[in-house]
């Protein structure tokens, strides 16, 4: 049989899928090509997976071969399209655990439509072209023997081996850098990355089965060696007080320094941070990954790092945790989470039980209607107003966590809720961001006023912090106009700072507290517990009390970046923290922090993947306030 037309169709299919993949790389992803070798890899890396997938179609005969060619062409478009949308929102690539978080998709609402672009149709044009060519050319399926088919698979293997070999010369031990998805996609390609991710996911699923008490002991020894004692003057300073933890959705620290037409973006927060009974930590970073808000909650309550892919709230909700709410319940606190959203979003209804929340006030506990909801749901001001009734019915002392909602992508407000004007940059997202931050700031002001009226303000401890970034790296050009400088990897890291305020009404300020300490969300649990007079020595946690005079000046981000009091490490480059200038020589003294970062992230992952806390029958420290 003449296979010329069939071979031509296969050649065109390879070329079209290859072309659309590379063009999509360039159009939709910011992959930071640094040299000619990386550019070559970006062009070359789709080829091995395309040859492999089209090789599979040769196993089919007749119409089945036609259908599978078109199916693989279409599915390659689906994979690209899904990653493009996800990247536009999160500046990241999809992982296997994320695919199982389908419960969140239905609540995306306006965010999804905001992410669509007309150019996305390009990702499926190759399927249309192939279908037309098959019809016009009267395509006849290829008929090959087993040796010829095997050679197709062999060619795919050779192409991947060459690809990986070149990539390893550019970045040794590439496949151990699982936290850096951008690098994996850039060097081995999107399709190969997804295969590798699936292998890793399968591997991690088996870790719990084979985990042992000896691993728990190993982690325990590590955290014990790094434990930092609390500040004697701050330990127990908030003992017996009600606790309000307020999570500011998508709020970055830079917003607190901004003005729009002379008006402050966060006048209430700025006033609060200036008070004598408030500690504002100016170098506080979010450490979330793909779980975003749920990751920030996980960090808050456990002092463990989130996972490199997916959300712990979904993948490991049934684990044993020694979380802050559980500890405080044992100390006589009533614990509650308040969030006027679907209880199943981020699997909170299941995860909160594992964390020890006694109560969860979700959307069913609020009167939500058209007049008090917009964008993602209930507005922050009515949310806080209606929460007062729930607080009045709670037993004191209580530990409460509030999750705001209005400052969420796509950052849309009704006109009546705009206290400042939108910006005028080349990004609609950036333009709308600061007005929604301003609205949430106003909501906080109203909440504090209502708490004072209800008699719940004075004897309380307030922890107010941002959960994750609001503006992704896809908007760096517009952000450069806002902050007045180019968004380099250094500036991008600094933009991961989020507000962090600890407010204790009437307590005054203790002298010699270093609020410029480099810190992150992982430090919240030991800080809160120590303020309440609960010792955490012996607990498996990776954070350090923000007030401890023994603190290490090191904060590790989930993607492997880290910050010290002197330097910022991002994209394989050290930068001076005070100037943002890259350090080109004599970096050896900071190289050790790379090993520390990798070791700490690995230990934390070990705890979660292996569910290691199940081997600790009772808390290793006294949960009762002293």
Classify the C-alpha dihedral 271-276-277-283 as positive or negative. positive
Considering only CA atoms, which of 132, 96, 30, 51 is closest in space to residue 487? 30
pLDDT for 100 equals 63
Q: Report the distance separating Cα 218 and Cα 346, nearest Å.
A: 31
pLDDT for 623 equals 41
Q: Are 430 and 482 in contact (CB under 8 A)?
A: yes
Under DSSP, is residue 71 helix (H, G, I), strand (E, B) or coil? Answer: helix
Q: Are 298 and 287 in contact (CB under 8 A)?
A: no
Under DSSP, is residue 555 helix (H, G, I), strand (E, B) or coil? Answer: strand
Q: Are 545 and 328 in contact (CB under 8 A)?
A: no
Q: What is the distance, to the nearest Å, from the Cα of residue 280 to the centroid of all Cα atoms in its chain? A: 23
pLDDT for 622 equals 43
pLDDT for 180 equals 67
**In whole angstroms, how far apart are CA 290 and each of 111, 186, 360?**
16, 19, 23
pLDDT for 218 equals 95
Considering only CA atoms, which of 547, 591, 405, 563 is closest in space to residue 493? 563
Q: What is the distance, to the nearest Å, from the Cα of residue 50 to the centroid of all Cα atoms in its chain? A: 30
Helix axes 36-44, 4-28, angle to 10 degrees: 130
Under DSSP, is residue 299 helix (H, G, I), strand (E, B) or coil? Answer: helix
Helix axes 46-57, 4-28, angle to 10 degrees: 140
**Which residues carry out catalysis?**
293
pLDDT for 178 equals 55
For residue 259, the cross-strand partners are 264
Burial class (CB in 10 A: 0-12, 13-18, 19+), 314: buried
Quote the DSSP letter at residue 621.
S
Secondary structure tally for the chain: helices H, strands E? 22, 17
**Residue ranges in the chain modelled with pLDDT below 50:** 1, 106-107, 618-626
Kindly give the residue spans of alpha helices, DSSP state H, lying in 91-174: 96-99, 110-115, 125-136, 146-170
pLDDT for 620 equals 42
Considering only CA atoms, which of 246, 252, 260, 258 is closest in space to residue 419? 260
Name the pairing type of β-strands 460-466 and 242-248: parallel
Q: Report the distance separating Cα 416 and Cα 368, nearest Å.
A: 18
Q: Report the distance separating Cα 344 and Cα 83, nearest Å.
A: 24
Considering only CA atoms, which of 225, 328, 298, 235 is closest in space to residue 538? 225
Q: Are 496 and 254 in contact (CB under 8 A)?
A: no
Domain ranges, ordered by start, for the chain: 4-207, 229-551
The enclosing H or E element of 548 equals none
Q: Report the distance separating Cα 258 and Cα 261, nearest Å.
A: 10
DSSP assignment of 476-530 equals HHHHHHHHTS---HHHHHHTTB--EEEE-TT----TT--TT--EEGGGHHHHHHH
Q: Report the distance separating Cα 444 and Cα 434, nearest Å.
A: 15
Q: What is the distance, to the nearest Å, from the Cα of residue 360 to the centroid of all Cα atoms in its chain? A: 23
Size (the chain), residues: 626
**In whole angstroms, how far apart are CA 113 and each of 108, 110, 244, 410, 476?**
9, 5, 35, 10, 21
Q: Report, in angstroms and rounded to the nearest whole number, the Rg of the chain calculated over CA atoms.
A: 26
Strand order in the sheet with 554-556: 554-556, 562-564, 567-570, 573-576
DSSP assignment of 245-290 equals EEEETT--GGGGG-EETTEES-HHHHHHHTSTTEEE-TTEE----T
Classify the C-alpha dihedral 108-266-380-435 as positive or negative. negative
The enclosing H or E element of 9 equals helix 4-28
pLDDT for 40 equals 94
Name the pairing type of β-strands 554-556 and 334-338: unpaired
pLDDT for 621 equals 45
In 10 A of CB 40, how many CB atoms? 14
Q: Report the distance separating Cα 189 and Cα 49, nearest Å.
A: 8
Considering only CA atoms, which of 491, 27, 19, 535 is closest in space to residue 231? 535
Write the class of the CATH domain 229-551: alpha beta
DSSP assignment of 231-248 equals PTTTTTTTTT-EEEEEEE
């Amino acid at each position: 049989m003449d296979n010329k037309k069939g071979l031509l169709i296969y050649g065109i299919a390879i070329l079209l899928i290859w072309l659309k993949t590379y063009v999509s790389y360039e159009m939709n992803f910011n992959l930071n090509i640094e040299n000619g070798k990386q550019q070559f890899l970006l062009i070359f890396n789709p080829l091995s997976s395309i040859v492999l997938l089209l090789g599979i179609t040769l196993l089919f005969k007749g119409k089945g071969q036609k259908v599978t060619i078109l199916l693989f062409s279409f599915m390659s478009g689906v994979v690209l399209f899904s990653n493009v949308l996800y990247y536009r929102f999160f500046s990241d690539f999809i992982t296997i655990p994320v695919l199982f978080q389908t419960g969140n998709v239905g609540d995306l609402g306006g965010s999804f439509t905001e992410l669509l672009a007309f150019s996305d149709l390009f990702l499926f044009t190759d399927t249309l072209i192939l279908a037309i060519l098959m019809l016009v050319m009267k395509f006849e399926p290829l008929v090959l023997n087993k040796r010829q088919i095997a050679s197709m698979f062999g060619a795919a293997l050779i192409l991947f081996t060459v690809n990986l070999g070149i990539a390893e010369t550019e970045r040794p031990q590439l496949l151990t850098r699982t936290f850096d998805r951008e690098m994996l996609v850039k060097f081995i390609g999107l399709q190969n990355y997804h295969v590798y991710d699936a292998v890793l996911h399968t591997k991690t699923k088996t870790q719990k089965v084979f985990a042992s008490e000896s691993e728990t002991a190993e982690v325990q020894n590590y955290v014990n060696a790094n434990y930092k004692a609390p500040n004697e003057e701050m330990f127990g300073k908030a003992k017996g007080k009600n606790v309000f933890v307020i999570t500011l959705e998508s709020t970055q620290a830079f917003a607190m320094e901004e003005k729009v037409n002379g008006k402050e973006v966060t006048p209430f927060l700025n006033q609060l941070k200036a008070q004598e009974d408030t500690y504002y930590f100016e170098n506080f970073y979010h450490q979330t990954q793909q779980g975003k808000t749920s990751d920030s909650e996980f960090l808050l309550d456990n002092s463990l790092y989130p996972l490199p892919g997916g959300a712990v709230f979904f993948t490991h909700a049934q684990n044993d945790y020694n979380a802050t709410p559980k500890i405080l319940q044992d100390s006589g606190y009533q614990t509650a989470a308040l969030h006027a959203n679907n209880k199943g979003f981020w699997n909170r209804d299941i995860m909160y039980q594992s964390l020890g929340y006694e109560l969860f006030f979700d959307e069913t506990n609020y009167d939500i209607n058209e007049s008090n909801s917009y964008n993602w749901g209930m507005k922050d001001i009515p949310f806080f107003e209606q929460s007062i009734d729930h607080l009045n019915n709670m037993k004191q002392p209580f530990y409460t966590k509030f999750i705001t909602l209005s400052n969420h992508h796509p950052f849309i407000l009704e006109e009546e809720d705009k206290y400042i004007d939108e910006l005028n940059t080349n990004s609609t997202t950036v333009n709308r961001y600061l007005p929604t931050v301003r609205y949430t700031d106003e909501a906080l002001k109203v909440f504090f006023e209502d708490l004072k009226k209800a008699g719940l303000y004075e004897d309380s401890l307030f922890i107010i912090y941002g959960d994750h970034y609001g503006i992704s790296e896809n908007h760096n050009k517009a952000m450069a106009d806002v902050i007045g400088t180019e968004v380099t990897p250094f500036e991008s890291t600094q933009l991961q700072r989020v507000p962090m305020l600890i407010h204790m009404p009437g307590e005054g300020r203790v002298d010699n507290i270093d609020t410029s300490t480099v810190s992150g969300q992982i430090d919240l649990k030991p800080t809160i517990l120590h303020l309440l007079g609960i010792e955490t020595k012996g607990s498996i946690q990776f954070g350090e009390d923000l007030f401890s005079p023994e603190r290490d000046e090191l904060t590790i981000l989930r993607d492997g970046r880290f910050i010290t009091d002197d330097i910022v490490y991002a994209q394989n480059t050290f930068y001076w923290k005070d100037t943002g200038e890259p350090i080109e020589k004599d970096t050896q003294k900071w190289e050790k922090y790379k090993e520390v970062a990798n070791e700490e992230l690995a230990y934390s992952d070990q705890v979660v993947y292996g569910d290691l806390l199940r081997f600790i029958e009772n808390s290793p420290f006294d949960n009762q306030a002293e």
